[in-house]
């Protein structure tokens, strides 16, 4: 496993981050750092399985979930976006029912570390979901730039990849998903 200071973190090829903002002149300008193709193909993108995207129980933000949904759909996956403030039991029930190839948890409110530990323990304790590949990313703590120890704890608890809120993480995230087939998603664990 690489260190938690900008390299890949996780069991597979993993990164960190939640998006890109560029500052300039009089203020901050939102410029999403998306590695989108220069030209879109006229051919439809073949679907590669279903990914569930969700926040956790205390996080009421939705913009991050819409961003992730669009990005993951661009990479050829069907996306089920569970939305904000998703109770643990609902998250588990939806994953059981839908049988996704991957679960992506996103945090904006800074409680991702604590809530992520609780959620991943429940997922790994559920016989039907124990093998589901799970990624977490965003603002994992209220101070930003969580420590290597926090990231290691999330990985040790069962996350397959952890992305903190550094801008370079979105490229690592899309790279991971870009290489991920349905079969590979199940082999990520």
Token reading at 112? 């991702």
Q: Residue 146: its pLDDT value, please?
A: 63
Per-residue pLDDT, 6: 35
pLDDT per residue over 137-155, tens digit each? 988 887 766 678 889 999 9
CA–CA gap between residue 156 and residue 113 (Å, rounded): 12
Give the CATH fold of the 47-187 domain.
Answer: Rossmann fold (3.40.50)
Nearest residue to 170 via CA among 94, 83, 74, 42: 74
The reported pLDDT for the residue numbered 176 is 85
What pLDDT does residue 188 have?
58
pLDDT for res 185 = 57
Please give the Cα distance from 53 to 84 (Å, whole number): 10
Tokens of 71: 């990005």
Taking phi first (over 0 means left), then psi (-120 to 50 degrees means alpha), and beta for anything else, what does residue 136 get?
beta
Q: What integer pLDDT is reported at residue 1 of this predicted model?
A: 33
Go through 156-187 and write b for each residue having 16 or more CB atoms within 10 A of its CB, e for each that does not: ebbbbbbbbbbeebbebbbebbeebeeebbee
Residue 53 phi/psi, 5-degree rounding, is -115, 135
Q: How far is CA 154 from the centre of its chain?
A: 13
Rounded CA separation 112/106 (Å): 7
- Segments of the chain with pLDDT less than 70: 1-46, 144-146, 181-189
CA dist 127 to 56, 123, 178, Å?
21, 8, 28
Q: What is the mean pLDDT of the chain?
A: 77
182, 49 Cβ separation under 8 angstroms: yes
| pLDDT at residue 173 in the model | 87
């Amino acid at each position: 496993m690489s260190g938690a200071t900008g390299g890949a973190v996780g069991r597979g090829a993993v990164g960190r981050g939640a998006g890109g903002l560029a500052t300039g002149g009089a203020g901050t300008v939102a410029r999403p750092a998306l590695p989108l193709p220069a030209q879109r193909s006229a051919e439809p993108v073949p679907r590669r399985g279903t990914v569930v995207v969700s926040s956790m129980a205390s996080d009421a933000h939705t913009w991050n979930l819409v961003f992730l949904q669009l990005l993951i759909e661009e990479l050829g996956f069907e996306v089920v976006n569970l939305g904000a403030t998703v109770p643990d039991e609902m998250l588990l029930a939806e994953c059981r029912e839908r049988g996704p190839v991957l679960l992506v948890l996103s945090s904006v409110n800074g409680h991702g570390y604590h809530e992520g530990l609780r959620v991943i323990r429940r997922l790994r304790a559920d016989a039907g979901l124990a093998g589901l590949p799970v990624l977490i990313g965003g603002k994992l703590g209220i101070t930003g730039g969580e420590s290597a120890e926090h990231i290691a704890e999330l990985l040790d608890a069962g996350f397959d990849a952890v992305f903190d809120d550094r801008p370079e993480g979105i490229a690592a995230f899309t790279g991971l998903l870009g290489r991920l087939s349905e079969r590979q998603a199940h082999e990520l664990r």
